[in-house]
Amino acid sequence: MALTITNVKVVRTAPQGNQQLVVVKIETSDPGLYGWGCATFTQRAATVVTAIEEFVKPFVIGWDPQRIEDIYQAALTSSYWHSGPVLNNALSGIDEALWDIKGKLANMPVYQLFGGKAREAVDLYTHASGETFEQVADNIRALTERGFRHVRAQVAVPGYATYGSRAAGNARSWEPAPYVRIVPKLFEYLRTHLPEDIELLHDIHQRIPPIMAIGLAKELEKYRLFFLEDPFAPEDNEYFHILRSQTAIPIAMGELFVNPAEYVPLVKDRLIDFMRVHISDIGGLSIARKLAAYCEFFGVRTAWHGPADVSPIGHAANLHLDLAVHNFGIQECTIFNDANREVFPGTPEIRDGYLWANDQPGLGIDVDEEKAKKYPWPDQPLRGGWAPLRRADGTINRQ
Q: What share of the chain is helix, strand, coil (3-state, %, to 5)?
A: 40, 15, 45
Question: How many angstroms separate the CA atoms of 22 and 311, rounded?
Answer: 8
Phi, psi of 320 (to 5 degrees): -65, -35
> Which H or E run contains 11?
strand 5-13
State the greatest distance between any 2 C-alpha atoms of the chain, in Å, as a whole number. 67
Instruction: List strands edge to edge, sheet with 21-28.
Output: 5-13, 21-28, 34-38
CA distance 65 to 68: 6
Active site includes 205? yes
| Cα dihedral across residues 30, 31, 32, 36: positive or negative | positive
CB atoms within 10 A of CB 147: 12
Residue tagged active-site, from 127, 150, 205, 305: 205
d(CA 203, CA 45) in angstroms, rounded, equals: 24
Distances in whole angstroms, Cα of residue 370 to Cα of each of 11, 13, 344, 378: 10, 11, 11, 17
Catalytic-role residue among 111, 125, 160, 163: 163
Contacts of residue 282, Cβ cutoff 8 Å, sequence gap at least 6: 88, 92, 257, 258, 259, 288, 291
Q: Identify the three-state secondary structure at position 125.
A: strand
Overall size of the chain counted in residues: 399
CB–CB of 38/311 below 8 Å? yes
Find the DSSP H helices in 252-368: 260-268, 279-282, 285-296, 312-324, 338-343
Give 257-262 contacts, CB < 8 A, sequence gap 24+. 257/281, 257/282, 258/83, 258/84, 258/85, 258/88, 258/282, 259/83, 259/84, 260/291, 262/234, 262/237
Residue 48's closest CA among 100, 7, 93? Answer: 93
> Could you give the CA distance from residue 293 to residue 234 in angstroms, rounded to a whole number?
21
Is 163 an annotated catalytic residue?
yes
- Active-site positions read 163, 205
